[in-house]
Structure 1
């Protein structure tokens, strides 16, 4: 019975991963610049929630200054959430000589704020004059064609929500670089699987560091209402609500010009806090298919450590264990190689097998830890 169960679960996982390869290869590169479509594009309000980003925010604002998209067609709203460093001073200093329309949304301090990012975005949308809302984070970097490519794609498709790729910046040397590389590959798997789900119109995940949606769609689904007390989910829960009504208008923009770069975690503690926060979201999904997928992925990864234990106690033969490893890792390696290459991290492909070995233990660990409803620290605050 154990052998049969492990084989069925791993076999289904192999077929699912193989289908992702097909979907990714079939999906074309999209969002090429079109002067006619740029002219028809909607005005964009770029919203950047920040807290204690003094080391990063200036670089992002400089990137926005360099956008090829007409400066009359977008505005930037930085929502400062009670920063205790020089973040606000840096923004104010930049604002004095900025060629872009830069608006500072200074949030009032709030006690027991369980979802500070949602609060920052929601209040900024109320100030926004754009028809399109694009969100990113204060520690991100964007390319010069970022907004123009998104605007062209939206004008061409009439998209209600557009998810774009996010990747980590890698340090140049040492153990720090190795830890970053592991995070890049792990995160690439999320980017790729989320993209493929959107390609088949079954969206399940996205990232608020690179997300665009119609302001009218935000209000149509009552924004963050219903999950405003959850620290996470300013991106995925909103996407699910929009997709429930307009699934055909939810897209992933497969174009390198829209890649947003952000910093990998610099400590195991910050990595742990974020992944725990992410893993805790699945319990609150209202879409049974998304919940079922999250549960299946958990058990598909649990199958590997279980099979190792069973093999150690001679409950399953070695040759069967080898077959399970092949089913789990073969299609997965091809898929990850495609996504990592698209994200311009081809040099890290050799590390994929290492990540594949540790990933099942990581998934099981965070899947179990996330069920504990304890507080965790994020941006200097304790959140639930």
Structure 2
């Protein structure tokens, strides 16, 4: 048992240190004054987002990008609140903003994939950008994306997403989890093994989306509008998928407000992992699962010398990736106050989510789904 534990921790350390090294290998992109024009179609699905839409719309209105070069397609996925009315009221007060609202055309088990597909059919521009209704887009978002595209000629661009959190345990715990995913995403690109992305800040060519038959083949899975499409682009031409590491391009979103919502959200995210096509990604998932399982079991080992050793080792290993990540996303001040407690809870939480995602239903936007 001890030797197995040591072996798992060594493998886990190699993984995290490799990703930390990869994080530093991705240079921060500095926007240049590139004259070439790029047109975008920004697609934003929404369902009952009356609380968050005003903030999103305000950030859209403040974008520093020529209005004639971008259209915004907001896709209403059967909202029962006044989301549509909020958008219409906004359009009455803000002029020269190319925003339109369309209804989702449901055709599969995945409402969000249907919403994106519905919008792509009518999108005027070749570059599709997706984000979420509970996000805030930075002023230089599209300018940074345009400059990156012109300089690197990609077919898909993965970009950073941040959390805006309050100083309480629930939100700081979510930040810990989310920053681990963001650091892993960047680190994966840095070691030439990209395997994560986030649909809240993702861009790709419409022509390539259509060539790859969009979400066909995985639209029976409720979530994964980002990762399964990402896998298709990687398989078709890995070198054409790039990461935009730029503070000017960071889209900001919010953590959920209750533990129940967090469990449902993370269960939805975890439900798609077994459908990844890459064996390497599944092995990474298995390694993380075993590491968390061994940390949890060691806490009940009964020996004072053993109880906290794996937990402390894992917490130290994780810092190698967390430190550059929180520095990039500017979370230094609040992070360490909650780090130990969040790290202690996380293995239990992770194992619970894996169990729930495989055997139980979860709710998303007041709809019930099962793996």
| Residue equivalent to 2:354 | 367
Counterpart position of 2:56: 60
Aligned residue-pair number: 368
**Partner residue of 1:83 out of 66, 79, 82:** 79
Q: Deviations over 1:97-132 (max 9, x none)?
A: 432211211235x5x952100000000011111111
Choose from 304, 307, 321 the match for 1:335: 321
**Aligned mates of 1:148, 1:26 — CA distance in 2:** 23
Say yes or no: does 1:209 pair with 2:204.
Answer: no
**Using the alignment, how far apart are the partners of 1:349 and 1:334 within structure 2?**
14
For the 8 Å contact 1:65–1:98, the answer to whether it is kept is no
What secondary structure is seen at the aligned counterpart in 1 of 2:299? helix
Q: Contact 2:298 / 2:308 at 8 angstroms: preserved in 1?
A: no
Q: Which residue number corresponds to residue 132 of structure 1?
A: 127
Is 1:219 equivalent to 2:219 in the alignment? no
For residue 106 of structure 1, the aligned residue among 66, 81, 103 is 103
Deviations 1:265-298 (A, max 9, x none): 1111111111111111111111111111111111
In 2, the alpha carbon distance for the partners of 1:188 and 1:23 equals 15
Partner residue, 2:310: 324
Q: Distance in 1 between matches of 2:311 and 2:368?
A: 40
The aligned counterpart of 1:33 is: 31
Partner of 1:196: 187
Q: Secondary structure at the match of 1:35?
A: coil
- Per the TM alignment, residue 323 of structure 1 is displaced from its structure 2 partner at its CA by 5.1
- In the aligned structure 1, how far is the partner of 2:323 from the partner of 2:276? 29
* Structure 2 match to 1:354: 341
Structure 1 partner of 2:115: 120
CA deviation vs aligned residue, 1:317-345 (integer Å, no higher than 9, x gap)? 81x66653453222212321221121111
Structure-2 separation of matches of 1:256 and 1:123: 31
CA distance in 2 between partners of 1:199 and 1:99 (Å): 40
Query: Helix, strand or coil for the counterpart of 2:223?
Result: coil
Determine the structure 1 residue equivalent to 2:161: 166
Verify the 8 A CA contact 1:81 1:116 in the aligned structure 2. yes
User: Residues 107 and 124 of structure 1: is their aligned pair in 2 closer, same or farther, counting only changes over 3 Å?
Assistant: same
Native 8 Å contact 1:199 1:251 kept in 2? no
Distance (whole Å) between structure 2 residues aligned to residue 98 and residue 298 of structure 1: 51
Pairwise CA distance, 1:380: 1.5
1:176-208 deviation line (CA, Å, top 9, x unaligned): x33111111211000110111122232211111
Shift of 1:11: 1.0
8 Å CA contact 2:109–2:220 kept in 1: the answer is: yes
Unmatched tracts of structure 2, length 5 or more: none
Moved more, 293-302 or 93-102: 93-102
Q: Structure 1 22/91 Cα, relative in aligned 2: closer, same or farther at 3 Å?
A: same
State the distance in 2 between where 1:251 and 1:257 align: 16
Cα distance change of structure 1 residues 328 and 52 upon mapping to structure 2, 3 Å threshold = same
Q: Which sections of structure 1, spanning at least 5 residues, go unmatched?
A: none
**Pairwise CA distance, 1:253:** 1.3
Residues in 2 aligned to 1:4 and 1:217: alpha-carbon distance in whole angstroms: 48
| Residues 26 and 189, structure 2, Cα contact 8 Å, conserved in 1 | no
Does 115-124 or 158-167 show the bigger shift?
158-167
* 3-state DSSP of counterpart to 1:309: coil
Alignment match, 1:50: 46
The answer to whether the 8 A contact 1:201-1:248 is kept is no
Distance (whole Å) between structure 2 residues aligned to residue 334 and residue 170 of structure 1 = 22
Point out the more displaced range, 236-245 or 333-342: 333-342
Q: Is residue 175 of structure 2 the alignment partner of residue 178 of structure 1?
A: no
